[in-house]
Chains A and B, each alone.
Chain A
Amino acid sequence: MTEELKVAVERKGGDGAVLYTKGYINNVGGEEIANRAYELMDAGVRTLLLNLRETKIVNSIGISILIEIIEKMIDKGGRIGFCCLTPVIHKTFQIMGLANYAKIYTTEEDASRDLALTA
């Protein structure tokens, strides 16, 4: 049984991007997100929004990888936000401490406005 995560990327302006995830964020899914995020960082992206509207399940290993992505972005002087979380994922992020280092938004519109992500 495998639950493949799909990731789509949309660039926003010169140094922004949105990652859309679909599926289970486990160790494999987390690594997939990390690979895409690191590619974007290497390409100069410093503002990254992860839209999790099509992700309904996360686990603690996947979240630990998301925390590594946040740490790497902070090291580069950038910032990361998350949006469209289910209530249980929001609660899980808070317990895991992720909410201390990345902003969480209800909608992509709210996030784009606050993070100044432009088309």
Chain B
Amino acid sequence: MTSTAARQMELTLPMVADIEIAAARAAGNLGREMGMSSEHIDEMTHAIIEACINAREHSGCADNRIFIRFIGTSTGDGNRIDVWVTDHGKGFDPEEARARRPAPGAVHKRGRGLQLIEAHMDEVDISATEGGGTTIHMAKVEKKS
């Protein structure tokens, strides 16, 4: 299937309170421009918010920056938005994070960010190395009905 109308956007955001809202708004605008449903946009923006909070709270990076890249692609099958959220911090082990999280639905006050990201997005992969930063790549896909 030929991809059409790829839209790209890159943001460099300071790690300050509520900066995740700026990323969410940018994603929302992109999704609306592509004609994505509000439910898909809301799920994507909530996942991006959690990814930014993870970077802000846990990366321990020296540059205090979050780097976000969006690519929106429309095809005959529907729409797809890929998002990369990157920090230059200490990195983490995603498998270890998955192993210590509680079962879905169980009450647990913290440590749900990655679980929420995976629940709200269609594809998630994480590349993280100790001391080498973290990139969470996630994609939201909306197929034409």
The reply to whether A57 and B49 form a contact with Cβ atoms under 8 Å apart is yes
Task: Say which residue of A24, A28, A87, A96 sits within 8 Å of B112 (CB atoms).
Answer: A96
In the complex, residue of chain B having the shortest beta-carbon distance to the beta carbon of A1: B18
Verify if B137 is at the interface (C-beta below 8 Å from A). Answer: no
> Given A1-B16, A57-B21, A87-B42, are A100 and B105 also a contact pair (CB < 8 Å)?
yes
Task: Say which residue of A3, A59, A96 sits within 8 Å of B53 (CB atoms).
Answer: A59
The reply to whether A60 and B50 form a contact with Cβ atoms under 8 Å apart is yes
Chain B residues contacting A1 (CB-CB under 8 Å) are: 16-19, 21-22
Verify if A84 is at the interface (C-beta below 8 Å from B). Answer: no
Chain A residues contacting B64 (CB-CB under 8 Å) are: none
> Given A57-B24, A59-B53, A60-B53, are A67 and B104 also a contact pair (CB < 8 Å)?
no
Min CB distance, B118 to chain A, in Å?
10
Chain A residues contacting B113 (CB-CB under 8 Å) are: 60
Chain A residues contacting B34 (CB-CB under 8 Å) are: none
Verify if A36 is at the interface (C-beta below 8 Å from B). Answer: no
Task: Say which residue of B106, B110, B120 sits within 8 Å of A64 (CB atoms).
Answer: B110
Task: Say which residue of A56, A59, A94 sits within 8 Å of B42 (CB atoms).
Answer: A56
Chain B residues contacting A61 (CB-CB under 8 Å) are: 53, 110
Residues of B within 8 A of A (CB): 16-22, 24, 39, 42-43, 45-46, 49-50, 53, 102, 104-110, 112-113, 115-116, 119-120
Q: List 5 A-B contacts (CB under 8 A).
A: A56-B42, A59-B46, A60-B110, A64-B109, A97-B106
Residues of A within 8 A of B (CB): 1-3, 24, 26, 28, 56-61, 63-64, 67-68, 86-88, 91-92, 94-101
